[in-house]
Amino acid sequence: MHNISLNNLEVVVFDVDGTLYNQSLLRKKMLFSLMKYFVFHPWKINELFILYHFRKEREKNKGFKGPNLNEQQYIWCKQKINQPIDKIREVVAKWIFNYPNQFLKSCTYPGIHLLFKSLAEKKIRIAIYSDYDSIEKMKAMELKADLYVSSTDAQINAFKPNPDGLEFICNEFGVTDKNQCLFIGDRLELDGECAKAAGISFLMVDEVNEKNPLFENLSKQVLNVIKQ
C-alpha cells in the first residue's frame, strides 16, 4: 500500500468528497438535475452564480486560517456577487449540502462499507475530516464514524492543507505516535499536503472500480495484518 505500514494502526481518517464516493459520477447526476431545474425556473439562474463564486472563493482561500470560518466563506461569496448572506446560505444549503445527498449511496465506491466494517472489527477508530460538513453525507451513504470534523467547525477554523484538523483528531483520540494514524484522501495538493504537514501517513485514492479495488484490498490487509 504505497510503502505504508498498517501495523499498530489505531486511527484512520477519511476525506469524503472524491474519497468515499465517485465525485465525477455525482457531478454528472447533479448537472442533469441543475439543467432540468433551471429550464423550468429560468428566473432563478442567479443561483448558479452563487454556487460558482462560493466554490471558487473557497478554493482560492485553501489553507486559510481565521476566526469564524463558517461565516467567512459566505462573506467571500457576498463580496463577489453582492447577494444577501441569507440568500447565499439558502442556495448553498440546497444545492451543496442537501440536494446531492440523494445520489450519494449510488455513487459510493465499492468496498468502502467492507473497509469500515473491517476497521470496526479490529477496533480501529474512524474519523472523517472534510473541508465541508459531512454528517448528512455519511448518513446518506450509510457509513458511520467515531468522529466527524469539518474545516469550518469552530474548533478548527482552517481549510486544508492547514493541518489543524488532523492535529485536532489526533488530540481527540489521544494519538501520540503519528505512525498509528493514516489519512486517506483524493487530492495530493490538499489532503496529501495536509497529512505531510501533520506528520501523518497518506494514502491517495484514484477512481475505485473493478480494476482498482482499493478499499477491498485495504480491508483484507486490515484483517490479515493488523494486530494479529
- 119 Cβ partners below 8 Å, 6+ apart? 12, 125, 126, 222
Q: So what's the pLDDT on residue 209?
A: 78
Q: What is the pLDDT of residues 131-163, one digit of tens each?
A: 999 999 999 999 999 999 999 999 999 999 999
Q: So what's the pLDDT on residue 224?
A: 81
H helix count then E strand count, the chain: 10, 5
pTM for this predicted structure: 0.92
CB 156 within 8 A of CB 168: yes
Indicate the SS3 state at residue 147. Answer: strand
Whole-angstrom Cα distance, residue 108 to residue 2?
A: 23
pLDDT at 100 over 80: yes
**What's the CATH architecture for 11-22+105-225?**
3-Layer(aba) Sandwich (3.40)
Q: So what's the pLDDT on residue 4?
A: 60
pLDDT band at 5 (very low <50, low <70, confident <90, very high): low
Q: What angle do CA 74, 80, 81 make, to 5 degrees?
A: 90
Nine-digit cell at 222?
Answer: 486490515
Element (H, E) at 126: strand 125-130
Q: Which residue has the cell 473493478?
A: 210
pLDDT at 212 over 90: no
Residues of the chain above pLDDT 70, percent? 96
Question: What are the extents of the domains in the chain?
Answer: 11-22+105-225, 25-103
pLDDT band at 225 (very low <50, low <70, confident <90, very high): low
pLDDT at 181 over 70: yes
pLDDT at 3 over 50: no
Q: Give the torsion sign (CA, 189, 169, 65, 97).
A: positive
